[in-house]
Chains A and B, each alone.
Chain A
Amino acid sequence: MNYTRGLNASVSFPLMIQVIVNGSAHRLERPLDVAALIARLELSGKRIAVERNGEIVPKSAHGSTLVADGDRLEVVVAVGGG
């Protein structure tokens, strides 16, 4: 956790964070909760599961879990497989 960077950012210029979703970088102008991030990625209503930094974010916690700068998220679905 890099508190200094977050503190400086909030003081000197609008907070901009970057998260990695399924291996791709997404820049967010402010921290979002997982539900809002899912909505922004146009995945709302889709049957998905979310892992954040290696830990499951349960559906019940999507609205209360904030994503932070540098977070790595995996958003998965079920597909055909053997």
Chain B
Amino acid sequence: MSEAFVIAGKAYTSRLLIGTGKYRDFAQTRAAVEASGAEIVTVAIRRTNIGQSAGEPSLLEALPPSKYTYLPNTAGCYSAEDAVRTLRLARELLDGHDLVKLEVLGDPHTLYPNMPETLAAAKQLVREGFKVMVYCSDDPIQAKMLQDLGCVAIMPLASLIGSGMGILNPWNVQLVIDAVDLPVIVDAGVGTASDAAIAMELGCDGVLMNTAVAAAKDPVRMARAMKQAVEAGREAYLAGRMPKKLYSAAPSSPVEGKIAPSRSKAA
């Protein structure tokens, strides 16, 4: 099992990808990202405020694209067409940067992915030369379809975006991992450090999160916890866990050489 985490031909050290939304301010965003050790950060593409003062701080100053790999997303898009337009704008904005996160949502309540639109958008984006990391359902068949379309990473949800419910269906995540040869990154649903560790122990190649860090009481501390959890989970996966048994009758200490049992209590 390789130690390298490679996406679209580029190797990364950190297997934790961090979203940059919902923080108090850019200072906190930067502090959390730094504490997480993440090298890839997701960003959203939105209309600029017209008439806003020119000196307004920008995310690109807080997190210089020279230091981090930007992953522009299509959050809020409900059709393949809107997602494709958004990422064309992102590529123009980021001087030809072509590594993107595709997500096409099905409805505003669950934010569950719309897979037919996701597949259509992935096809078009790959045709236009984008390197597509794709948020998707935990369906191994459609994960394979996305791989066959030419995506560079498969990113199934573990539970709904922003829910913090953790890895609800580890068996399906496992099926996705088995179905594709691409990096599999759990995207959405992680609530706390143990969730990230579980994802990595399952054999995921990485974890992408935003709310779990940003909505923690102490986001910077949680970012650090997530870094450690992802590392611990990866190490445990590589180490290979012991098999589960209801009981073993095999104590850890030697059975031989115990002192003589007390006579008074002996049967």
Contacts from A to B (Cβ < 8 Å): 21-24, 41-43, 45-51, 54, 56, 58-59, 74-82
B58 contacts the other chain (Cβ, under 8 Å)?
yes
Q: Which residues of A contact B70 (CB under 8 A)?
A: 78
B73 contacts the other chain (Cβ, under 8 Å)?
yes
- Majority secondary structure of chain B interface residues (helix, strand, loop or mixed): mixed
Which residue of chain B has the shortest Cβ distance to A51 in the bound complex? Answer: B89
Task: Give which listed residue, B22, B47, B93, B209, contacts A47 with CB less than 8 A.
Answer: B93
Q: Which residues of B contact A45 (CB under 8 A)?
A: 54
Q: Which residues of B contact A50 (CB under 8 A)?
A: 92
Let me know if A76 and B46 touch, CB within 8 A: yes
Could you jot down 25 A-B contacts, CB within 8 Å? A22-B50, A41-B50, A41-B51, A42-B50, A43-B48, A46-B58, A50-B92, A51-B85, A51-B89, A56-B89, A59-B92, A75-B48, A76-B46, A78-B44, A78-B93, A78-B94, A80-B22, A80-B43, A81-B20, A81-B42, A82-B19, A82-B20, A82-B21, A82-B44, A82-B210
Whole-angstrom distance between the alpha carbons of A22 and B44 in the complex? 16
Let me know if A78 and B72 touch, CB within 8 A: yes
Q: Give the shortest distance, in Å, between B56 (CB) and chain A (any CB).
A: 9
Task: Give which listed residue, A21, A42, A77, A80, contacts B93 with CB less than 8 A.
Answer: A77
